[in-house]
Structure 1
Amino acid sequence: MGQQEKVATSLAGAVSEEISASLAPVDAELERRYPGDPGTRQPVHTVYVPGDAFAADTIRSWGDQALAALDEHAPDAASFAAVLGLSDDLAEPVYSRVRAKLEREPIEDLRVDFEDGYGPRPDAEEDATAARAARLIAEAYKNGTAAPYMGIRMKCMEAAVRDRGIRTLDVFLTGLMESGGLPEGLVLTLPKVTYAEQVTAFVRLLEAFEKAHGLEAGRLGFEIQIETSQSILATDGTATVARMIQAAEGRATGLHYGTFDYSACLGVSAAYQASDHPAADHAKAIMQVAAAGTGVRVSDGSTNVLPVGPTAKVHDAWRLHYGLTRRALARAYYQGWDMHPGHIPTRYAAVFAFYREGFEQAAGRLARYANRAGGDVMDEPATAKALSGYLLRGLDCGALDIAEVARLTGLTRADLEGFAAPRRGDLTASAK
């Protein structure tokens, strides 16, 4: 032991107390506005099905159609890998996991659509379709055939369709209540939001429903779909989407980018409307920054190039979809929208390849951090959070197995969750 150092201070304890008291409102504001990620599973995609097309067997039908597409256009791992450019070491693990996923859980998040995919209908018809959607979703959760997340996309809060959208939501939620209550995986999507006041109005609507049924305040959350330029940039130059998150009063769960409505709003020609257009990148970057730390998650949009027709055309569409999905994942958009059963094989192929190809490196870095073993990268708590989040997302979607993660990290899922959700102060401290 060396010589013990003399510790001296100059400030009275009252100084620290006064500073803490002056920052107490800021501390409270940080906790309220930036609670961090909720730590729940985020689906890798959202599938939307028009209200009149949704049926009891929709999820299984999409899985069967996706498997049939593989059988016809890529019947084995080698052929599928050749189409997508997968490395030899990934070909079999990815292909086998994609097929297993399509058999076990083909859709992670399903939205019954009453907006663009459904269109204007007679009121009696939309009433009946909304009631039917509620009944079928309730039955699916009861018999174990539901996707992990399910719900509806209602019409927006603009004047022309506002009353219809409110009524459809009421019919749907009331139907769920009468069928046994709201399922845990319920998700609501509010489209074409332009002003924060529309979000506030939707919050008041959900509050009214909760009070009418004696539900816990805040039980109903919702996603905000970003489809207009005004939802990104307001007339005063501020980011509207940031105000929308606050207007949701803690109920917002996601921001979903609407590829085609947003592109059209900016005048992008139809041939160039895509999720990798510079206008799309700008919008999603604003969404991402506005949502960071709030617990609201960002979802990419979709491609409208469908994998149908002869094999060569299907392969071209698969390559496009795979590339767009990988691009989104690298930019931390871990969720997107799929429009056709043929998109699901490449959605899962892209997701599984993304997590499997970086798995060993991420696991090794996290293990060294957890054991304070050092290495060629100096990781800090924020990096450990990212590494564990990466592994948890891989586990949730089926790209990784807990046994292989435990083998390489020596950590349990609870350990991973602990690293993924550190206390706020931990992220500002350097790793020891």
Structure 2
Amino acid sequence: MGQQEKVATSLAGAVSEEISASLAPVDAELERRYPGDPGTRQPVHTVYVPGDAFAADTIRSWGAQALAALDEHAPDAASFAAVLGLSDELAEPVYSRVRAKLEREPIEDLRVDFEDGYGPRPDAEEDGTAARAARLVAEAYRDGTAAPYMGIRMKCMEAAVRDRGIRTLDVFLTGLMEAGGLPEGLVLTLPKVTYPEQVGAFVRLLEAFEKAHGLDAGRLGFEIQIETSQSILATDGTAAVARMIQAAGGRATGLHYGTFDYSACLGVSAAYQASDHPAADHAKAVMQVAAAGTGVRVSDGSTNVLPVGPTAKVHDAWRLHYGLTRRALARAYYQGWDMHPGHIPTRYAAVFAFYREGYEQAAGRLARYANRAGGDVMDEPATAKALSGYLLRGLDCGALDIAEVARLSGLTRADLESFAAPRRGDLTVSAK
């Protein structure tokens, strides 16, 4: 190994100890505020169904309608690829996986809507609808027909509808408890949040429910919908959305962008209200930065252009939805909203193409990194984290199979997960 170098230092050990002691509060704050991604599956979309339209067969029905749309407007891989501009190499794998997904798991995340999609109703009617939703969700999880994630969007915490929203949430959650308990995939959505204080009030509401039923503290989490300009920029010039995450006290699981409410709030004309408008890009960029490292995930919004009518019109709507979804994925918005069964084929087509066109390169780069084999790109632990996260998301949604990823990378799912969630400050990697 050659001559051993003489090692000399100038600072006493007390210096390092003093610095560490002074930074201990900062260390604790970093761990509390920025725990990192939870490492759980993130659904690729959220489907909203009005409370009165939600039924025991909703998920199966949406899958059937989506398959019927394919049969009518793109009955084979070549025709579907021609509409979306898929390469010959991707056409068959994407199309076959889309059809299989629609048969097996057409909806990854379903929200029974009691807000804009449901509207104002007599109290007795909304009570009954909320109780019915609880029963149907509990039955779906019990018989294995549920989506991986399900829950409700209640009315917001503004004065005019606050009491109604609180009661609907209470009826729904109490119904789940009486039906056997809260399912693991339960998700709650708080819409039209303007002030962090509204988030704090919702936290107190959830704490009260947990105490009433003897649940573990923090059992109930929720998504925050960003639908107003005030949630991005507060009156004092700060990013209100960052304060909302902190006000949630670790309960926030997602930030969901509301395309049309937010656009209207800024005065964007109806014809230009879309998820690729510059105003939307700004809002989502602020959301993304505020959420980074906190474990809170960002979701894009939806398109209101529905794939219905004659084939030419359906194809136009499909191209639009596919393009918006691919655009979002490139910007690291891995989830969005789907409002119609006809959107699901292009949601999955965009997601599957995104992962399948890049997985060979990602797996190869990660393999070289793990084996310290070098190559034409100098990757670091942060890049390994991104590569493994990419592959894991592709596996979770069904775009990829673990066998093909393992064949190219030599890594197991456990290996991928270890790269995706390194310890804070860990800049080393073990050789394989």
Shift of 1:49: 0.1
Aligned twin of 2:310: 310
Q: Does structure 1 conserve the Cα–Cα contact (< 8 Å) formed by 2:370 and 2:431?
A: no
Q: 3-state DSSP class of the match of 1:268?
A: coil
Q: How many residues are paired up?
A: 432
Stretches of structure 2 that go unaligned for 5 or more consecutive residues are none
- Following the alignment from structure 1 to structure 2, what is the Cα–Cα distance between the partners of residues 160 and 324? 34
Query: 1:146-172 CA deviation, whole Å, 9 max, x = no partner?
Result: 000000000000000000000000000
Aligned twin of 1:217: 217
Shift of 1:428: 8.9
Q: 3-state DSSP class of the match of 1:425?
A: coil
TM-score normalised to the size of structure 1? 0.99
Query: 1:34-73 CA deviation, whole Å, 9 max, x = no partner?
Result: 0000000000000000000000000000000000000000
Q: Does structure 2 conserve the Cα–Cα contact (< 8 Å) formed by 1:151 and 1:188?
A: yes
Q: Does structure 1 conserve the Cα–Cα contact (< 8 Å) formed by 2:370 and 2:429?
A: no
Q: 3-state DSSP class of the match of 1:117?
A: coil
Q: Classify 1:232/1:381 alpha carbon distance in 2 versus 1 (closer, same or farther; 3 Å).
A: same
Shift of 1:342: 0.1
Q: Does structure 2 conserve the Cα–Cα contact (< 8 Å) formed by 1:388 and 1:419?
A: yes
Q: Does structure 2 conserve the Cα–Cα contact (< 8 Å) formed by 1:381 and 1:430?
A: no
Shift of 1:28: 0.1
Query: 1:191-245 CA deviation, whole Å, 9 max, x = no partner?
Result: 0000000000000000000000000000000000000000000011000000000
Q: 3-state DSSP class of the match of 2:47?
A: strand
Aligned twin of 1:289: 289
TM-score normalised to the size of structure 2? 0.99
Query: 1:272-313 CA deviation, whole Å, 9 max, x = no partner?
Result: 000000000000000000000000000000000000000000
- Following the alignment from structure 1 to structure 2, what is the Cα–Cα distance between the partners of residues 430 and 238? 42
Query: 1:95-124 CA deviation, whole Å, 9 max, x = no partner?
Result: 000000000000000000000000000000
Shift of 1:429: 9.3
Aligned twin of 1:107: 107
Aligned twin of 1:38: 38
Shift of 1:426: 1.5
Query: 1:406-431 CA deviation, whole Å, 9 max, x = no partner?
Result: 10000000000000000111259999
Tell me the percent identity: 96
Aligned twin of 2:135: 135
- Following the alignment from structure 1 to structure 2, what is the Cα–Cα distance between the partners of residues 428 and 155? 47
* Runs of 4+ deviating beyond 6 Å: 428-432
Query: 1:60-99 CA deviation, whole Å, 9 max, x = no partner?
Result: 0000000000000000000000000000000000000000
Query: 1:221-272 CA deviation, whole Å, 9 max, x = no partner?
Result: 0000000000000011000000000000000000000000000000000000
Q: Classify 1:431/1:328 alpha carbon distance in 2 versus 1 (closer, same or farther; 3 Å).
A: farther
Q: Does structure 2 conserve the Cα–Cα contact (< 8 Å) formed by 1:379 and 1:431?
A: no
Shift of 1:344: 0.0
Deviates more, 1:330-339 or 1:2-11: 2-11
Q: How well do the aligned residues superpose, as a CA RMSD in angstroms?
A: 1.2
1:348-359 matches, cutoff 5 A = 348-359=348-359
Q: Does structure 2 conserve the Cα–Cα contact (< 8 Å) formed by 1:380 and 1:430?
A: no
1:190-269 matches, cutoff 5 A = 190-269=190-269
Query: 1:316-362 CA deviation, whole Å, 9 max, x = no partner?
Result: 00000000000000000000000000000000000000000001000
Shift of 1:145: 0.2
